[in-house]
Structure 1
Amino acid sequence: MIPQLDASSHPHDGRRPAAPKTLGADIAASLVVFLVALPLCVGVAAASGVPVELGILTGIVGGLVVGVLPGSSLQVSGPAAGLTVLVASAVSEHGLGMLGVIVLGAGVVQILLGATRLGTWFRAISPSVVQGMLAGIGLVLILGQVYPVGGLEQPDSTAEKFGRLGELATAMVTTPQGVAGVGLAVAALLVMTAWKKFVPAPLNLVPGALIAVVLTSAAAALLALPVEEVEVGSLLASLNPPTTTDFGAVDLAVLGSILTFALIASAESLFSAAAVDRMHDGPKTHYNKELVAQGAGNAVCGVFGALPMTAVIVRSSTNVQAGGKTKLSRVLHGFWLLLFVVLLPGLLAFIPTAVLAALLIQAGWKLLELKAVAALVREHRSEAFVLVLTAVTIVATDLLIGTLTGLAAAVVKTAVEVSRLSVEAEHADDHVRVQLGGNATFLRLPRLLDHLERLPEDKHVHLDLSTVRHLDRACHQAVENWVVEHRRNNGSVEVAMPAGTG
């Protein structure tokens, strides 16, 4: 008789791993994600022009609130570099007090989108538009963060950022703050690059960004460098809940910001989910549930007046690579952030703003994805055009206009590509047979009319449209008008229309 194994000990019984087997892996992964998230939460907040505590608070909510909700298992949420430009613009235009209203409103919109099962529609957005959006954000992020490196305040508008580059270059080489800031930023970038490439496992599980921040902050303190450092206050004192006055001041511009925040944050979160799902073999993301979870997190952040959140690919991929197995790893990362900001907030005051700027410059560089752009240029010129147009328009105007421009260009490109029309003419001594195929739409009307107007009037014309898949009203009328005109000029014509066409 074959002995029966206890089901709980069988390694392939299809059950979820027992808690003792995953607990250690989740705790270890949560610590690594915490170490990655901490400097990024601070850097994103500083770049957005809000107190750094609000960035950490968003990270805490991303772990403790979104982390426990259904949707995704290993994806980690928090303040994202991709929303920095949007937040800074909203704070500059509407004030810090209105940030909570905007984020809360965006969260409610996301919940409604998920509850009405519209989350999967975000997967239909052209990848070239998304790449262009991220590239444009990356360019604006880099352009803005070079100013803190040089010891200068970041200008408000893109035009000013370009216009003051000469002043920035001079400050970087002539002022003590500029020289020190450039030195620290370059050192931080070199440490992050070298740590990832040359440090062997398991040491490379420690984030290179954290090592760079620790080493450069220590160097700045020991050498007493004349650089600006992060200003840190109490987490409770930094809370920025919206008031009834703020809600009463909502206008069309604020509603536009709410919609923009919701759509951009949702797209970034769900595209991140698609990427993270390819990294692991665990349960895949339920898009509508994930959208509701992201909305709940943003609603909570809005109540506290904190930064908006998205699922963040850097933290999520770190979670997977560090061995996270269940939701516990992302929940615990939020707990570690809370513990740090309660017990050790003073450590943040040693971080130079030039170092945080360097972290965000690296984040902006990653958003550019130059290798992917180069491959797209080689393989799909039209897709590359949409990408570049989106990115350039974002830099020249703003995130919403640039993204909408990219979407419009993608729709036009698709319409042109889909509406392909073939025209084949066979000439005989006494007649001409013209065969049309594909889709006859108004986009191809000039080509269709050009072919028809060149047909001889002294031959019988057999115009066969029976194999045309789609004949729109513009082309239908154009064919009918040409037939009437051809017969008026004593021409002979016979037309076979598509099935079902009146």
Structure 2
Amino acid sequence: MLPVLQDPVGLRRDVLASLVVFLVALPLCVGVAVASGVPAELGLITGIVGGLVVGAMPGSSLQVSGPAAGLTVLVFEAVQEFGLGVLGAIVLATGLAQIALGAVRFGRWFRAISVAVVQGMLAGIGLVLIFGQLYTMAGIKQPRSGVDKIVGIPGLIADIATDRTALTAFAVGAGTMVVLVLWKKAPAKARVLPGPLVAVALATAVTALGGLDIANVEVNGLIDAIQPPALNDLSALGGISVLGTVLAFTLIASAESLFSAAAVDRMHDGPRTHYDKELMAQGVGNTICGILGALPMTAVIVRSSANVQAGAKTKRSRILHGAWLLLFAVLLPAAIGIIPLAALAGVLVHAGCKLVPFKELAPLWREHRGEAIVLGITAVAIVTTSMFEGVVLGLFLAVAKSAWDTSALHLDIRESANGGIVVAVAGHATFLRLPRLLETLEALPQDRPIELDLSQVRHLDHACRAALETWAARHNEQGTEAVRVRHPEAVTAA
């Protein structure tokens, strides 16, 4: 008997779950593609590859891959700067890099990336997505930079207030967002249908029945949308700026996928994720997407959580969701062309809001102020500069904060029985704590004997060793008793 027939209950649950994930993925695939400045079909292609190819590979059994809102801003910038053909080359290189990283067992190390940096990255992406898609909701071309998007908001409001077409389009987008927010309070039976699908379907129906004159999604056909990168597109990978984009794609796509895997593992009791294999699976998917000229993919927490909550038990559900996307793209491509752009923009503004951890900011500030600062600076840097620069700055700050926290140094100054001074140092004596250490030592009386107790020092770097030796030599020049060191193997007394 075939394995699938041996477990008909599990098969039925996987099929039903795949239909739920398909209905969640459909509007998001199209919306992410449109927001990224590429044909809508390319988003569907990435979703299909994420289901049929990545879904069948080992790694994580229940998380679902496809085009993600988290990469929208970076993809849009890449398309605007390098062109659609080079985007395919960038995605191809990203996939190969992920395969290589997975092969050398680097996947587990992505779990070590600071959560504050990841949250800051997602918050920055969410803010740029929100401000950018507000323009699309009104049918107005959005500015390129994040700062210009924010600065242009007053002008956008004026355009909406004075232009009837812009007002109509914005109302459709806003209505879509209202449905998404209220759908969580709908009866349980109604919530079987995903909120994004319902919101987009209602917006499409209102636009069509009301004869509203607003822009819809342009459809060219699945086959026509496939444009593999040409040789000159591949040669562009030698440029520094293009390589920087590849690095940003690799870092963000890998981190988002593996953090999603960790989150999904907490949602179910099934097999745990093998992070290196999952990274290689994502790499294979992105390699194929690059060859097809499609969007980059990541594991997407929205679809993955929908898959788990719908009762999926095996990877069949995510494979089948890719099959449903393929059937839809082949049999009903015209259905995409009646979707209003404003409705998809509303879905993405809603998605952008969920990327910003509004509820977690206040508790994080109270309990871990340094982490909150790293999060905020990363997000602001992404909005004001670029994705790559913001993430690099965030990683630098996280490393600096970690170095500062782990270099904790405690000083205890007391008088000895013979009238001298004992300076007890405990912790990690590194260059980061050197200013405070020297200020304390240099403020000690010059005419009294001093004992430097380093027995509780766990680590003494070269900078501190040299500074302590210099200070001891200067103190001894005052004609007092030579500085005594209780831990002579760490610091030699002058």
Range class of TM-score, shorter chain: over 0.9
Q: Which residue in 2 is equivalent to 1:113?
A: 101
Given candidates 449, 468, 485, the residue that maps to 1:495 is: 485
**Is residue 203 from structure 1 mapped to residue 190 from structure 2 by the alignment?**
yes
Aligned AA for 2:178?
L
**Is residue 154 from structure 1 mapped to residue 142 from structure 2 by the alignment?**
yes
Q: Deviations over 1:418-473 (max 9, x none)?
A: 11111111124621111111111111111111111122222221111121111111
Q: Which residue in 1 is equivalent to 2:267?
A: 279
Three-state SS of the structure 2 residue aligned to 1:438 is strand
Q: Which residue in 2 is equivalent to 1:239?
A: 226
Given candidates 42, 50, 60, the residue that maps to 1:72 is: 60
User: Alpha-carbon deviation of 1:253?
Assistant: 1.6
Alignment of 1:452-467 (within 5 A): 452-467=441-456
Alignment of 1:402-441 (within 5 A): 402-428=390-416, 430-441=419-430
Q: Assess if the C-alpha contact under 8 Å between 1:176 and 1:226 holds in 2.
A: no
- Identity over the aligned pairs, expressed in percent? 56
Q: How many residues are matched?
A: 488
Given candidates 472, 476, 490, the residue that maps to 2:465 is: 476
User: Alpha-carbon deviation of 1:164?
Assistant: 2.4
Q: Assess if the C-alpha contact under 8 Å between 1:466 and 1:498 holds in 2.
A: no
Q: Which residue in 2 is equivalent to 1:86?
A: 74
Q: Which residue in 1 is equivalent to 2:179?
A: 191
Distance in 1, matches of 2:465 and 2:78, equals 49
**Is residue 216 from structure 1 mapped to residue 203 from structure 2 by the alignment?**
yes
User: Alpha-carbon deviation of 1:400?
Assistant: 0.6
Q: Assess if the C-alpha contact under 8 Å between 1:41 and 1:55 holds in 2.
A: yes
Q: Assess if the C-alpha contact under 8 Å between 1:60 and 1:334 holds in 2.
A: yes
**Is residue 103 from structure 1 mapped to residue 95 from structure 2 by the alignment?**
no
Q: Deviations over 1:145-165 (max 9, x none)?
A: 000111201222223323322
Q: Deviations over 1:153-191 (max 9, x none)?
A: 122222332332222111212212211112111211111
Structure 1: which 5+ runs fail to align?
1-7, 9-14
Three-state SS of the structure 2 residue aligned to 1:435 is strand
Distance in 1, matches of 2:354 and 2:186, equals 19
Alignment of 1:334-373 (within 5 A): 334-373=322-361
Three-state SS of the structure 1 residue aligned to 2:119 is helix
The range that moved more, 466-475 or 75-84, is 466-475
Q: Assess if the C-alpha contact under 8 Å between 2:465 and 2:491 holds in 1.
A: no
User: Alpha-carbon deviation of 1:205?
Assistant: 2.0
Aligned AA for 2:282?
Q
Distance in 1, matches of 2:169 and 2:218, equals 17
Q: Deviations over 1:470-501 (max 9, x none)?
A: 11111111111111111111111211236566
TM-score if structure 2 supplies the norm length? 0.96
Aligned AA for 1:422?
H
Q: Which residue in 1 is equivalent to 2:11?
A: 23
Three-state SS of the structure 2 residue aligned to 1:458 is coil
User: Alpha-carbon deviation of 1:23?
Assistant: 0.5
Q: Assess if the C-alpha contact under 8 Å between 1:439 and 1:469 holds in 2.
A: yes
Three-state SS of the structure 2 residue aligned to 1:257 is helix
Distance in 2, matches of 1:171 and 1:226, equals 16
Q: Which residue in 2 is equivalent to 1:374?
A: 362
User: Alpha-carbon deviation of 1:199?
Assistant: 2.1
Three-state SS of the structure 1 residue aligned to 2:422 is strand
Q: Assess if the C-alpha contact under 8 Å between 2:4 and 2:11 holds in 1.
A: no
User: Alpha-carbon deviation of 1:348?
Assistant: 1.1
User: Alpha-carbon deviation of 1:17?
Assistant: 11
Distance in 1, matches of 2:181 and 2:113, equals 33
User: Alpha-carbon deviation of 1:340?
Assistant: 0.3
Q: Assess if the C-alpha contact under 8 Å between 2:465 and 2:490 holds in 1.
A: no
Three-state SS of the structure 1 residue aligned to 2:412 is strand
Given candidates 277, 290, 312, the residue that maps to 1:302 is: 290
Distance in 2, matches of 1:186 and 1:394, equals 26
Distance in 2, matches of 1:186 and 1:91, equals 27
Distance in 2, matches of 1:486 and 1:86, equals 57
Q: Which residue in 2 is equivalent to 1:11?
A: none
CA distance 1:386–1:69, shift in 2 (3 Å): same
User: Alpha-carbon deviation of 1:16?
Assistant: 11
Aligned AA for 2:211?
A
Q: Assess if the C-alpha contact under 8 Å between 2:73 and 2:129 holds in 1.
A: yes
Q: Assess if the C-alpha contact under 8 Å between 1:432 and 1:459 holds in 2.
A: yes
